[in-house]
């Protein structure tokens, strides 16, 4: 990268299950306006726009064109990036590339979704191979259940371990006014909730939300003039692994392992558990909160349940995970990954209000989706060397 | 190139995408459609910064990025900016329209943007750019853009 890049402003909607009061362009505009307000910038000061959402979710193919009324893309360079569940993190990485290249000084990055407008499983099915997987595919939850079953069999974890993760995230969400679901639950509540796909109970998984998020990135030439303490992007990594559902190593997230190893190598991080201060993990179901932090190298294989039971990832613990409440509390899918990025940035900038983790030096945010794809960003308080 | 199917009957796997949608119009568009349905009045919104009047009504001015708080009643008459004629039937043409079908871009008096709609009660060869047309409202109105049946020439 020829220029260092920082996040100088973020904006989110107040996420809900239905937003009948606004159309897609209008919900996008709410997030964009809040990001501009946060950075104290005018839309005319934005040089380019990156936007993304899930294909087929709203049935609008040229979202980059159609959204200009809300995005501020009128007579500006604007591109759409869409990579399924990872979209929100991908748009952030795309914006980082645009600014880092030196071509643009200030880029508006937008993720959005109105999940209430279509059938999520019907739309997700269109992501899979029409001749092979689509005929026997049973929706997103069944694939996650297969991952959880494989992990439990390999390491002896239980559904109570998964439920503990859900209890944590749902408790954290009560401190986030932007979260869609803000209700504390007990272990017993999770385990007594309806079984969707063994071992996943209703309260183990994310909701479908309407919402949007916007993040403004700026080059090192202007970032500190816009924001005295911006959130510096230290590195990003992306792993999109394969095409067919049966190719994955169920019980381990290979894309997370390889991506995070790249991230630690790029940034010189030796012990992520000690060096990271907070994680905003794209974790659409509770068991991912066990499996994937092992693949990140936070703890060893099979060690996540005990680490989480000991309270290490709760607010006030060694390494808080999902202070925002995470994906289990809020899930406007195309925005979900970008909300992780925005929340991590807010932690670094000290703007996370009631969910602030003290003295954040390094924060990690990620995206997850597609066929076990992962992308990720390392955020830091200090300007990278 | 040789015909790859010569002497072969291909095995074809037929499929389709099946995704139902229910789009929310939002409060701003809903006000437009309810007023059109109940009062046969066409509304636009006005930007107080650049004074531009939008049809469809925009909640926020796309250029100024300020909220359009002012509603403006537009005339049901306007000027044809451009048009085209479809002489062959295709799927996008509603069942109750017979070819030739004329589409016009119509700028209503009081608006700064044009609307796309049907021109009717006129032969295609008689349509001209710059001609004046008037909205004909549908007998049965259901809160859609087709609560305007079509535009006809102003006599």
- At residue B5, does pLDDT exceed 70? yes
Question: Chain A: which residues have CB within 8 Å of chain B?
Answer: 18-23, 26, 29, 33, 36, 42-43, 56, 58-59, 68-70, 72, 74, 114, 116-119, 122-123, 126, 130-131, 134
Give the side-chain half-sphere CA count within 13 A for B98. 3
Test mutation, A16, A17, A18, A23, chain B, max B CBs within 10 A? A23
Residue owning tokens 């997103």: A140
Quick one: which H or E segment has residue A368? strand A362-369
What token pair was written down for A39?
């950075």
Residue ranges per domain, chain A? 5-120+209-226, 132-207+234-380
Give the side-chain half-sphere CA count within 13 A for B112. 12
- At residue B125, does pLDDT exceed 80? yes
- How is B9-35 classified by DSSP, letter by letter? ------------B----HHHHHHHHHH
Q: How far apart are CA A129 and CA A140, in angstroms?
A: 14
Q: How far apart are CA A31 and CA A202, in angstroms?
A: 29
Count of CB atoms situated within 10 Å of the CB of A205: 23
What distance lies between CA A334 and its chain's CA centroid?
A: 9
A-B interface: how many C-beta pairs under 8 angstroms?
66
Query: Residue B19's closest chain A neighbor by CA?
Result: A122
Q: Which of B19, B23, B27 sits opposite A119 (nearest CB)?
A: B19
Residue owning tokens 């944590």: A168
Which is the CATH superfamily of the domain at A5-120+209-226? Thiolase/Chalcone synthase (3.40.47.10)
Q: How far apart are CA A242 and CA A255, in angstroms?
A: 10
What's this model's pTM, rounded to 2 decimal places?
Answer: 0.96
Contact B60 A26 (CB under 8 A): yes
Contact A74 B62 (CB under 8 A): yes
Q: Which residues pair with A380 in a beta bridge?
A: A232, A362
Of residues B47, B52, B51, B116, the one with CA closest to residue B78: B116
For B33-89, what is each residue's pLDDT tens digit?
999 999 999 999 999 999 999 999 999 999 999 999 999 999 999 999 999 999 999
Per-residue pLDDT tens listing for chain A (385 residues):
699 999 999 999 999 999 999 999 999 999 999 999 999 999 999 999 999 999 989 999 899 999 999 999 999 999 999 999 999 999 999 999 999 999 999 999 999 999 999 988 888 888 888 888 888 877 788 899 999 999 999 999 999 999 999 999 999 999 999 999 999 999 999 999 999 999 999 999 999 999 999 999 999 999 999 999 999 999 999 998 877 888 889 999 999 999 999 999 999 999 999 999 999 999 999 999 999 999 999 999 999 999 999 999 999 999 999 999 999 999 999 999 999 999 999 999 999 999 999 999 999 999 999 789 999 999 999 999 8
- At residue B2, does pLDDT exceed 80? no
Query: Residue A127's closest chain B neighbor by CA?
Result: B17
Tell me the CATH architecture of domain A132-207+234-380.
3-Layer(aba) Sandwich (3.40)
B42: phi then psi, degrees, rounded to nearest 5? -105, 120
């Amino acid at each position: 990268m020829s220029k260092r890049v920082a996040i100088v402003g973020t904006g989110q909607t107040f996420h809900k299950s239905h937003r009948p009061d606004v159309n897609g362009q209008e919900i996008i505009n709410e997030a964009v306006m809040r990001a501009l307000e946060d950075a104290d910038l005018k839309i005319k000061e934005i040089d380019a726009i990156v936007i993304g959402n899930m294909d087929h979710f709203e049935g609008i193919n040229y979202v980059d064109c159609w959204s200009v009324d809300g995005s501020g893309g009128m007579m500006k360079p604007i591109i759409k990036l869409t990579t399924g569940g990872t979209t929100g993190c991908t748009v952030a990485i795309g914006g980082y590339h645009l600014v880092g290249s030196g071509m643009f000084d200030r880029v508006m990055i937008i993720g959005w979704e109105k999940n209430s407008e279509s059938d999520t499983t019907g739309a997700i099915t269109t992501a899979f191979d029409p001749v092979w997987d689509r005929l026997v595919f049973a929706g997103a939850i069944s694939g996650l259940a297969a991952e959880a079953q494989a992990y439990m069999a390999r390491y002896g974890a239980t559904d109570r371990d998964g439920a503990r993760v859900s209890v944590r995230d749902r408790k954290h969400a009560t401190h986030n006014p932007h979260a869609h679901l803000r209700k504390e639950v007990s272990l017993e509540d999770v385990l007594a909730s309806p079984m969707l796909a063994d071992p996943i109970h209703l309260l183990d998984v994310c909701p479908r939300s309407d919402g949007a998020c916007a993040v403004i990135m700026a080059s090192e030439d202007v970032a500190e003039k816009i924001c005295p303490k911006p959130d510096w992007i230290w590195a990003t990594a992306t792993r999109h692994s394969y095409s067919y559902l049966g190719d994955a190593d169920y019980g381990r997230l290979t894309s997370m392992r390889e991506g995070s190893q790249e991230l630690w190598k790029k940034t010189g991080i030796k012990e992520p558990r000690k060096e990271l201060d907070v994680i905003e993990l794209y974790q659409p179901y509770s068991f991912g909160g066990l499996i994937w932090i092992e693949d990140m190298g936070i703890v060893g294989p099979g060690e996540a349940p005990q680490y989480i039971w000991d309270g290490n990832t709760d607010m006030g613990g060694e390494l808080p995970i999902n202070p925002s409440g995470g994906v289990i509390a809020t899930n406007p899918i195309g925005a979900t990954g970008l909300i992780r990025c925005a929340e991590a940035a807010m932690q670094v900038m000290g703007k996370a209000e009631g969910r602030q983790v003290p003295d954040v030096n390094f924060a990690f945010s990620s995206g997850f989706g597609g066929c076990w794809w992962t992308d990720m960003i390392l955020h830091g308080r200090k300007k990278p060397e | 190139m040789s015909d790859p199917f010569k002497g072969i009957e291909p095995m074809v796997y037929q499929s389709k995408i099946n995704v139902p949608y229910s789009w929310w119009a939002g409060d701003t568009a809903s006000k437009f459609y309810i007023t059109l349905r109940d009062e046969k009045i066409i509304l636009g919104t006005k930007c107080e910064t650049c004074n531009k009047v939008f049809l469809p009504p925009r909640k926020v001015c796309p250029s100024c990025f300020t909220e359009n708080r002012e509603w403006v009643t537009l005339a049901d008459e306007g000027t044809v900016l451009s048009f085209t004629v479809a002489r062959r039937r295709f799927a996008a043409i509603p069942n109750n329209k017979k070819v030739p079908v004329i589409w016009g871009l119509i700028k209503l008096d009081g608006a700064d943007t044009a609307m796309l709609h049907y021109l009717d009660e006129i032969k295609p060869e008689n349509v001209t750019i710059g001609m004046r047309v008037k909205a004909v409202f549908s007998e049965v109105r259901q809160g859609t853009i087709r609560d305007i049946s079509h535009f006809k020439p102003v006599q």
